[in-house]
Amino acid sequence: MPRGAGVQDGGDGWMVDLSVEIGELTLQNPITPASGSFSWEYDEFIDLNELGGLVAKTICREPRDGNPTPRMAETEAGIIQSIGLPGKGIDYFLENIVPEYAKFDPPLIVSCSSEDPDEFALLASELSVPDVDVVECNISCPTRNTSGGNFALSDEHTGEVVSKLRAATDKPLWAKLSPNAGDIVSIARAAEEAGADALCIANTFLGLKIRTDNFRPAIGNKYGGMVSPALKPIVLRMVYQCAKEVKIPIIGIGGVTKAEDVVEYMLAGASAVGIGYAAFRNPTALTSIIRDLEVWCDNRGIKRVSELIGAIKDEDMEMDTLTAASQGV
């Protein structure tokens, strides 16, 4: 039986039930990798059957070479990357990649992207095969504009593309939103109204690094997506704000490096988290965080991790920022 399934431990206590519900889908724990930072090949380092879900790198319908090199640059606080969604297309993915993931027990979440809403919908339809459990629509690639892939900068474009995807698949549909949007709450509402079953908050932050030795951008595509533990408080705020306004589950993505980060996201309203940077630096981080989360809950007498979802104690606090600021501390 999966770890954390809530069965007796043989002594006087109970194992912590780490399972969470994302719509009609049950994850054995709230820990999933973030798209683009994971592969089934991680099985060389960790037991993938311990994870809550498996998330494949974003795929496109046609083969793509990706962005020009250099594609990654390190900063003092994290990494800027602009990979460009390279891949061999939908046919190769279904024939060669999906069978690799199917060898493992956790549900497979397939991230997909397109620059055209109609092609996007066709891609979602083609991904609606038995071994794919969730279609995650990446509508927020940070190096694309609002009408060419980064639909999540506009509530209108978000509604349009998610509606098309919803009509094209009966699989659970998760919409991955952009932290670069001016008002992510309105984007979240638009995705929910268009039929998304869950929201992934959020994709990477658009950033720039300039080399001081030759005065040129460090990334071949000039701009890149920033990933860093330092971004967690910003994304946490977005998750909190969106959770107050939508009824569908949220997966928090950004800066998770330890079990306490998972707890924070869940208290803010997330049902699960996606981990990218930490797993990139240390492949064993994913399973270590699962074990640490179980210990954290057990030490506090929390029998079900789902009890943490939205459990932040803020009822007595002023919600209006300007009012709160005027009151001082």
Q: Is 29 exposed, middle or buried (0-12, 13-18, 19+ CB in 10 A)?
A: buried
**pLDDT band (50, 70, 90) for residue 7:** very low
Q: Which residue has the tokens 């912590």?
A: 16
pLDDT tens for residues 302-323?
A: 999 999 999 999 988 876 765 6
| Helix 285-299 vs helix 259-268: crossing angle, to nearest 10 | 70
pLDDT (tens digit, 9 = 90+) per residue, 205-231? 999 999 999 999 999 999 999 999 999
CA separation for the pair 121, 118 (Å, rounded): 5
* Active-site pick, 60, 112, 141, 242: 141
> What's the whole-number mean pLDDT along residues 18-31?
98
Least Cα distance to 252 among 264, 240, 270 occurs for 270
pLDDT > 70 fraction of the chain, expressed in percent and rounded: 91
Give the bridge partners for 208, in sequence order.
Answer: 223
Query: Residue 4: pLDDT band by 50, 70, 90 thresholds?
Result: very low
Query: In the prediction, which pLDDT does 2 show?
Result: 41
The phi-psi region of residue 219 (left if phi > 0; otherwise alpha if psi is between -120 and 50; otherwise beta) is beta
How large is the average pLDDT for residues 257-275?
98
Q: What percent of the chain has pLDDT over 90?
A: 86
Do residues 53 and 303 touch, judged by C-beta distance below 8 A?
Answer: no
pLDDT value for 280: 87
Answer whether 289's CB lies under 8 Å from 275's CB. Answer: yes
In this predicted model, what pLDDT tens digit does every residue of 234-250 receive, in sequence order? 999 999 999 999 999 99
Q: Provide the pLDDT for residue 117.
A: 95
Mean pLDDT of 46-61: 97
Q: Is there a contact between 122 and 168 (Cβ–Cβ < 8 Å)?
A: yes
Give the list of residues 6+ apart from residue 22 with CB closer than 8 angstroms, or none.
172, 174, 197, 198, 249, 251, 271, 272
Say which residue the tokens 């309203």 belong to: 269
DSSP string, 132-189: --EEEEE---TTS-TTTT-GGG-HHHHHHHHHHHHHH--S-EEEE--TTSS-HHHHHH
57 phi, psi to nearest 5 deg: -60, 145
pLDDT band at 295 (very low <50, low <70, confident <90, very high): very high
Terminal Cα distance for the chain, rounded: 49
**318/321 Cα distance (integer angstroms):** 8
Specify whether 141 is catalytic: yes
Tell me what the pLDDT averaged over the chain comes to. Answer: 92
Contact 85/63 with Cβ under 8 angstroms? no
pLDDT digits (tens, 9 = 90+) for 88-137: 999 999 999 999 999 999 999 999 999 999 999 999 999 999 999 999 99
pTM to 2 decimals?
Answer: 0.93
Digit-coded pLDDT (tens) for 169-204: 999 999 999 999 999 999 999 999 999 999 999 999
Give the pLDDT of residue 142. Answer: 82
* pLDDT the model gives residue 146: 57
Domains (ranges, CATH) in the chain? 20-59+102-114+126-202+231-327 (3.20.20.70)
Q: Which pLDDT does position 11 carry in this prediction?
A: 44
| Rounded Cα gap, residues 126 and 91, in angstroms | 9
* Residue among 205, 241, 243, 198 at smallest CA distance from 223: 205
